[in-house]
């Protein structure tokens, strides 16, 4: 199943799965303070968009999934009517955008990271997900093979069940920094987790122990 087909199915349950995650939002809000317009690449159902819009930014959300954007459009219709939000079903593999943005965010594993010592986790985990239509059960397991992850998730709501398999490639810090430099970005810094005060230049042989954020500038 390719990414577009995966998120066609995932759109129905995505908000239950990650909609309540807020740990990263203060970092994005701080980095975007005083900037307009803002671009979010891989905006999904609008979790980050909503936070930026509440801060009165003018935002464009881009995603390859029309179904994910349809959820965002329904949730954020007020901001669309006001002209503060534009949603685009677009794939940057095929072309860029002609608009210039003051800041661009690629958030929440849209670009993935790689652990220096990836572990194979072939055991099942089970979580209860609350939502407007009651509680849904999520069973999932992930397997790592080098830099590649395969994750199987089963979402169950009563007698209804959806099974989703996703495959992702993870990138280490040096690879992402190198790609940004090749594209003409400067002032590249990294922070582990979502720590605003932790940004620093990439250190020699710096390892990856968990999620990290990279910021950079380009004229």
pLDDT digits (tens, 9 = 90+) for 163-209: 888 777 888 899 999 999 999 999 999 999 999 999 999 998 888 88
Confidence of residue 79 (pLDDT cuts 50, 70, 90): very high
**SS3 label, residue 36:** coil
Closest CA to 143 of 115, 118, 112, 173: 118
CA quadruple 113, 117, 121, 127: dihedral, nearest 10? -50
Say how far apart CA 145 and CA 179 lie, in whole Å.
23
pLDDT of residue 73: 97
Pairing of strands 160-169, 148-157: antiparallel
Confidence of residue 114 (pLDDT cuts 50, 70, 90): very low
What's the rounded mean pLDDT across residues 151-169? 83
Say how far apart CA 120 and CA 132 lie, in whole Å.
34
> What is the pTM (predicted TM-score) of this model?
0.80
Fold of domain 1-111: Rossmann fold (3.40.50)
Q: Is the pLDDT of residue 45 over 60?
A: yes
């Amino acid at each position: 199943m390719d990414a577009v087909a995966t998120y066609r199915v995932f759109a129905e349950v995505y908000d239950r799965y990650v909609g309540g995650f807020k740990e990263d939002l203060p970092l994005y809000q701080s980095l975007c303070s005083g900037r307009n317009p803002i671009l979010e690449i891989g905006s999904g159902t609008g979790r980050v968009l909503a936070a930026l819009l509440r801060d009165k930014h003018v935002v464009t959300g881009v995603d390859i999934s029309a179904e994910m954007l349809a959820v965002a459009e329904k949730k954020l219709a007020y901001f669309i009517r006001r002209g503060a939000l534009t949603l685009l079903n677009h794939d940057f593999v095929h072309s860029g955008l002609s608009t210039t943005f003051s800041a661009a965010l690629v958030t929440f594993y849209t670009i993935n990271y790689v652990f220096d010592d990836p572990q194979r986790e072939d055991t099942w985990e089970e979580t209860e997900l609350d939502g407007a239509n009651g509680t849904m059960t999520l069973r999932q397991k992930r397997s790592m093979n080098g830099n590649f992850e395969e994750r199987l998730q089963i979402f169950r709501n009563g007698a209804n069940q959806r099974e989703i398999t996703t495959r992702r490639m993870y990138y280490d810090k040096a690879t992402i920094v190198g790609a940004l430099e090749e594209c003409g970005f400067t002032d590249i810094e990294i922070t582990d987790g979502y720590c605003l005060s932790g940004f620093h230049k990439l250190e020699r042989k710096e390892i990856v122990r968990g999620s990290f954020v990279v910021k950079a500038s380009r004229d």
